[in-house]
Amino acid sequence: MDPNRGTGRRHRHAHRPPALVNRATLAILRSPRWHRLLDAQLCELRYRANDGRDISLPVLYAATDDRYVVLVGDASDKRWWRHFRRPGPVEVRRGGRCRTGLGRILTPPDPAFGAAADIYVRRHAVRVGPNDQLLAVDLSPQATD
C-alpha cells in the first residue's frame, strides 16, 4: 500500500490539547476501571527525557503484535518525538498493562517507513504524507536486550 494514499480521508492535524486534557486522558488510561473507554484508540507513552524528566503522553496508536506505530502530526510544531531520533527506551501503557520497548523515529527514506505507515493507514484511514514522522515502538523481547 502506498503510504501517501489513504482511503480518501485526508488527515487533519489537531491543535495541541491543553495540558489539563492530557492529564485527564492519562488519568483515564491509568484507571483500573475506566481505561477500557480509551484503550482502542489511545495509549500512554512514557520515556525519560535527556534532562532527566519523566515524560508521559497520551497518543493515538496503531498496533500489531509487538509493534506500536504513532503518527507525529505536525512534527515541526512538536518536540517530544525528537527524543527518538536515536532509538531509545520507552514504555507503553494499554489495557491496564505496561510494556517496555524501543522507540525510534521513521521517515520516508527509511525502508521500515512504508510498512509502519501501512499499519497506521489501515487502522485509522488517514493519509501519511511524505513529510510526516512515525514513531515505531518495538515491544519484542530483543528490543530491550
pLDDT in tens for each of the 145 residues of the chain?
Answer: 444 444 444 444 456 667 899 999 999 999 999 999 999 999 999 999 989 999 999 999 999 988 999 999 778 888 899 999 999 999 999 999 999 999 999 998 899 999 999 999 999 999 888 778 999 999 976 554 4
Q: What is the pTM of this model?
A: 0.83
Q: Which residues pair with 97 in a beta bridge?
A: 94
Is residue 103 a contact partner of residue 41, using CB atoms and an 8 Å limit?
no
* CB burial readout 26-36, b (16+ within 10 A) else e: bebbeeeeebe
43: CB partners within 8 A, 6+ apart: 29, 58, 59, 61, 68, 92, 93, 94
The sign of the CA dihedral 136, 141, 142, 145 is: positive
Q: Would you state the pLDDT for residue 90?
A: 97
Q: Would you state the pLDDT for residue 12?
A: 45
Q: For the CA atoms of 103, 119, 142, 98, what is the dihedral angle to 10 degrees?
A: 60
